[in-house]
Amino acid sequence: MTKAYKIEVDCPACADKMEKAAGKTPGVRQAVVSFMTLKMKIDFEDGADAETVMKEVRKNCRKVESGCEVYI
Amino acid sequence: MTKKQKINLIRILATVAMLVLMHFLPVTGILRLILYILIYLIIGYDIIIKAFRGIIKLQPLDENLLMTVATAGAIAVAVWRGSDDYIEAVAVMLFYQVGELFQSYAVGRSRRSISELMDIVPDHANIEGENGALEQVDPEEVAPGTRIVVRPGERIPIDGVVVSGSSSLNTAALTGESVPRDVTEGDEVQSGCINLNGLIKVRTTREFGESTASKVMELIEDASSRKSRSENFITRFSRIYTPVVVISALLLAVIPPVITLLSGNVADWETWIYRALTFLVISCPCALVVSIPLSFFAGIGAASRKGVLVKGSNYLELLSETKTVVFDKTGTLTKGVFEVSAVHPEKMDGNTLLHLAAHVERYSTHPIAASLRDAYKEESDDCSVGSPEELAGLGIVACVNGDSIAVGNSKLMERVGAKWHECHRHGTVVHVAVNGDYAGHIVISDAVKPSAKQAVDELRACGVTNTVMLTGDIRASAEAVGKELGIDEVYSGLMPRDKVSKVEELLAEKKSKKQRLAFVGDGINDAPALSRADIGIAMGALGSDAAIEAADIVLMNDDPVKIPAAVRISRKCLRIVKENIWFSLIVKSACLILGALGVANMWIAVFADVGVMVLAVLNSVRCMFSK
């Protein structure tokens, strides 16, 4: 299952950091962050609950880039 | 402006006001230092926090840390010197923030304007209510099979079939084609097209997310996440670059004073530390990091406006290096539809010959019969056509107005005893005999697309050195087409799997890796060749998911002229990327040298950093406006 989320981030380097942080979150198979379109695409692992996983993703992203936002 | 940008703007203005105030306040000594540190914290607190966070988490060096070390160092040097001149550190932080604000504003603006140009997905669909009033609903909620109403001036939100009304559609957003397409009841329509004049009702056949416009948008958005080599180069580059600069700055701060010490003179520590700090300010690589993805995004946007979907920045880069273009003939350079291309009568006039042939073929389902009937539109007249006899591998014999007419190949002519002769034209020759007497022949061939010649010429003009055509056709007709279009190499009589091995052969022949090979096909039966080539280009893909899937670059309509157009866009985009790389690197290294020599101070350093970034961003936006 793949879903796209709108994000808010300032620079491409920060977007890369978010991508790495989101990708390491349990329940996420793959994360792709596009700075240009301000979107985060998450490919969830089977059986993962998107909403709970996304809360973790947002938390992990904030850890590496405090000013970022993920709209769930 | 976002909320964050507004806050930053207020911080910047407040800092400027306080600096002006400080200029007139007669405070000195420790109080002066405290006040300046206060202003410094107001303008730079977020940077400083980020820098410390980075240190705690052992993240690699970033610009926040560079700026914090440089400015804090500048204050320390001022305290050491006892000069009471703390304004420089605050000003550098201030300019850095101005630059950051401008960067986020400029990038946000250009991102929005590019997205708006590409935004072909409408945000509502009209559903007719019970009393005939239109209700606007979210297109996501419209199930397949629903009737929606598209008024003149609106975009079609979901793919479907017209059930009532007729209109002209502007398909430019999808195909780049400016001539409107007429649609009427029963015609399929794609989302993203603009309804120009009439009100039409459409029965949707897909969900919103599966519709053409949504798919196209998704492709473009995903494209920017497939990174090109240039982008990867920059990521790798900044990973090496920042540590190198920091180490050089350290060496710059330590080595010259130590050397002067060793040679018996007094070491000038603070001058060299100051120069090292200047070095740090110059070194931020933001101009490159921001402008390159923006260039590719704008280039992909420009191509999509012309009806060319590029599925990744990497393909745009490969396309710009294309030296060989391999075409599949049928459906790519030719229309893929058989048409009568010549009528050579012996005794009667051409029209009569066509007339007779069309009658004989009245009941046949052979593609050649269909093209003969197409060529003679008034076939269903009152002539009597009787006892048609289809002779497999030869042709048809039938009785028209009492005469026995034979229509077929040369073997049939032998059989009915007609004295036939060869034709100088290439294509399928259909001979006609009346009562065993040779009446003439009709040539049927696959017509070359009117713009094919222009496409080949333009490709050559924009740097493609080798054009190749592959076809399953017989040699004579393949070579005739090749000659007409000016194709360099023609390979005929190929089975689909031969096409793949031919592509592999051509790939192996390439002299260098940088000379890319593109394969152009219709995406239906040449998927293997499309994926084997460096770049696979599928044409006529509007509405065909399979073709979109198989190819790297997708032409929404089937006009071959779009290929040179796409190559030109890619070349321009890559040229701008290279300009930005060189421009930034040259200015930065010049400033680094001047900084090390002590000619450039921190003010110049921060101006160089922000200025280069602004120019590079503005330059990137030019990619959007390719011809």
Q: Is the dihedral of CA B472, B477, B483, B485 positive or negative?
A: negative
Asked if the Cβ–Cβ distance from B289 to A11 is below 8 Å, we say yes
Q: How far does A37 lie from chain B, in Å, by closest CA?
A: 6
Chain segment B334-361, per-residue pLDDT in tens? 877 778 878 888 777 877 778 878 887 7
Q: How high is the pLDDT of residue A4?
A: 83
What SS3 state is found at B513? coil
Beta strands in B329-455 (DSSP E): 334-345, 385-391, 395-400, 403-408, 428-434, 437-448
State yes or no: pLDDT of B576 exceeds 80: yes
Q: What is the C-alpha to C-alpha distance for residues B470 and B494, in angstroms, rounded to an integer? A: 7
Q: What is the C-alpha to C-alpha distance for residues B437 and B420, in angstroms, rounded to an integer? A: 9
State pTM to two decimals: 0.77
Domain boundaries, chain A: 2-71
Report the residue from A16, A33, A36 with minimal CB separation from B111: A36
Q: How far does B230 lie from chain A, in Å, by closest CA?
A: 14
CA B231 to chain centre: 16
Average pLDDT over residues B425-448: 81
Q: How high is the pLDDT of residue B446?
A: 78
Q: What is the CA radius of gyration of chain B?
A: 35
Q: What angle do CA B55, B94, B612 make, to 5 degrees?
A: 90
Asked if the Cβ–Cβ distance from B225 to A41 is below 8 Å, we say yes
Average pLDDT over residues B35-61: 85
Asked if the Cβ–Cβ distance from A11 to B115 is below 8 Å, we say no
- Give every CB contact of residue B17 below 8 A, 6+ residues apart in sequence: none
Q: How high is the pLDDT of residue B544?
A: 66
Of residues B617 and B283, more confidence is placed in B617
Q: How far does B254 lie from chain A, in Å, by closest CA?
A: 31
Domain boundaries, chain B: 143-207, 309-334+449-566, 335-447
Q: pLDDT category, B80, cuts 50, 70, 90?
A: confident
Q: How far is CA B155 from CA B169, B189, B195, B209, B419, in A?
A: 9, 11, 6, 16, 61
Q: How far does A58 lie from chain B, in Å, by closest CA?
A: 18
Beta strands B516-521 and B322-328 are: parallel
Asked if the Cβ–Cβ distance from B294 to A39 is below 8 Å, we say no
A35 has a chain B CB within 8 A of its CB: yes
Q: What is the C-alpha to C-alpha distance for residues B124 and B134, in angstroms, rounded to an integer? A: 12
Question: Which of A3, A37, A65, A68 would you mutate first to test chain B, the one with the most B CBs within 10 A?
Answer: A37
Asked if the Cβ–Cβ distance from A67 to B235 is below 8 Å, we say no
Show residues of chain B in contact with A71, CB under 8 Å: none
Average pLDDT over residues B86-104: 84
Task: Report H helices in B444-561.
Answer: 452-461, 475-485, 496-509, 527-532, 545-550
Q: Describe the crossing of helices B452-461 and B562-597 by its angle, rounded to 10 degrees.
A: 20
Q: Do the beta carbons of residue B281 and residue B252 sit within 8 Å?
A: no
Q: pLDDT category, B17, cuts 50, 70, 90?
A: very high
Q: Which tokens go with B435? A: 């009562």
Q: How high is the pLDDT of residue B40?
A: 92
DSSP per-residue string spanning A26-67: TTEEEEEEETTTTEEEEEEPTT--HHHHHHHHHHHHHHH-TT
Q: Tell me which range, A26-40, B55-69, B280-294, B389-403, is most confidently predicted by mean pLDDT.
A: A26-40
Q: How far does A30 lie from chain B, in Å, by closest CA?
A: 13
Q: How high is the pLDDT of residue B243?
A: 79
Q: How high is the pLDDT of residue B225?
A: 67
Q: Do the beta carbons of residue B340 and residue B372 sit within 8 Å?
A: yes
Q: pLDDT category, B573, cuts 50, 70, 90?
A: very high
Please give the positions of B annotated as active site: 328
Q: What is the C-alpha to C-alpha distance for residues B136 and B128, in angstroms, rounded to an integer? A: 9
What SS3 state is found at B397? strand
Closest of B459, B524, B483 to residue B326, by C-alpha: B459
Give B49-85 as a 3 state SS string. HHHHHHHHCCCCCCHHHHHHHHHHHHHHHHHHHCCCC
Report the residue from B100, B289, B297 with minimal CB separation from A36: B297
Least confident of A53-62, B48-57, B271-280, B358-367: B358-367
The answer to whether domain A2-71 has CATH 3.20.20.150 is no
Q: Do the beta carbons of residue B282 and residue B99 sit within 8 Å?
A: no
Burial of B124 (C-beta count, 10 Å sphere; 0-12/13-18/19+) = middle
Report the residue from B53, B286, B293 with minimal CB separation from A35: B293
Q: Residue holding tokens 């107005």?
A: B401
Question: Which of A5, A10, A36, A42 would you mutate first to test chain B, the one with the most B CBs within 10 A?
Answer: A36
Show residues of chain B in contact with A8, CB under 8 Å: 2
Q: Which amino acid is located at B588 in the chain?
A: K
If phi > 0 it is left, if psi is from -120 to 50 it is alpha, else beta; for residue B616 that is alpha
Q: How high is the pLDDT of residue B595?
A: 83
Asked if the Cβ–Cβ distance from A12 to B290 is below 8 Å, we say yes
A7 has a chain B CB within 8 A of its CB: no
- Enter the ipTM: 0.75
State yes or no: pLDDT of B178 exceeds 90: no
State yes or no: pLDDT of B594 exceeds 90: no
Residues of B with CB under 8 A from a CB of A: 2, 4, 46, 49-50, 53, 57, 59, 62, 100, 103-104, 111, 114-115, 221-222, 224-225, 235, 238, 286, 289-290, 293-294, 297
Core vs surface per residue B421-446: b (16+ CB within 10 A) or e: eebebbbbbbbbbbeeebbbbbbbbb
Q: How high is the pLDDT of residue B60?
A: 67
Asked if the Cβ–Cβ distance from B103 to A11 is below 8 Å, we say yes
The residue in chain B having the minimum alpha-carbon distance to the alpha carbon of residue A16 is B235
Asked if the Cβ–Cβ distance from B221 to A67 is below 8 Å, we say no
Q: pLDDT category, B320, cuts 50, 70, 90?
A: very high
Q: How high is the pLDDT of residue B22?
A: 86
Q: What is the C-alpha to C-alpha distance for residues B458 and B537, in angstroms, rounded to an integer? A: 17
State yes or no: pLDDT of B554 exceeds 80: yes
Average pLDDT over residues B407-413: 80
Q: Which CATH architecture has domain B143-207?
A: Distorted Sandwich (2.70)
Q: How far does B205 lie from chain A, in Å, by closest CA?
A: 23
Q: How far is CA B194 from CA B173, B189, B306, B511, B590, in A?
A: 8, 10, 16, 47, 52
Asked if the Cβ–Cβ distance from A66 to B50 is below 8 Å, we say yes
State yes or no: pLDDT of B523 exceeds 70: no
Q: How high is the pLDDT of residue B543?
A: 56
Average pLDDT, chain B: 83
Q: Residue holding tokens 């808010």?
A: A8
Q: What is the C-alpha to C-alpha distance for residues B112 and B583, in angstroms, rounded to an integer? A: 25
The answer to whether domain B309-334+449-566 has CATH 3.40.50.300 is no
A10 has a chain B CB within 8 A of its CB: yes
| DSSP bridge pairs for B441 | B344, B431
CA B171 to chain centre: 18
Show residues of chain A in contact with B103, CB under 8 Å: 11
Q: How high is the pLDDT of residue B578?
A: 92
Asked if the Cβ–Cβ distance from B115 to A37 is below 8 Å, we say yes
Give B227-280 as a 3 state SS string. CCHHHHHHHHHHHHHHHHHHHHHHHHHHHHHHHHHHCCCCCCHHHHHHHHHHHH
A36 has a chain B CB within 8 A of its CB: yes
Asked if the Cβ–Cβ distance from A66 to B297 is below 8 Å, we say no
Show residues of chain B in contact with A66, CB under 8 Å: 49-50, 53
A39 has a chain B CB within 8 A of its CB: yes
Q: Do the beta carbons of residue B562 and residue B335 sit within 8 Å?
A: no
Chain segment A34-47, per-residue pLDDT in tens? 877 788 888 898 88
Asked if the Cβ–Cβ distance from B224 to A34 is below 8 Å, we say yes
Q: Which tokens go with B486? A: 């000016």
Least confident of B122-136, B243-257, B456-470, B480-494: B122-136
Q: pLDDT category, B286, cuts 50, 70, 90?
A: low
Q: Number of C-alpha atoms within 13 angstroms, CB side, residue A47?
A: 1
Asked if the Cβ–Cβ distance from B49 to A8 is below 8 Å, we say no
Report the residue from B100, B111, B289 with minimal CB separation from A13: B289
Class of B335-447 in CATH: alpha beta
Show residues of chain B in contact with A34, CB under 8 Å: 221-222, 224-225
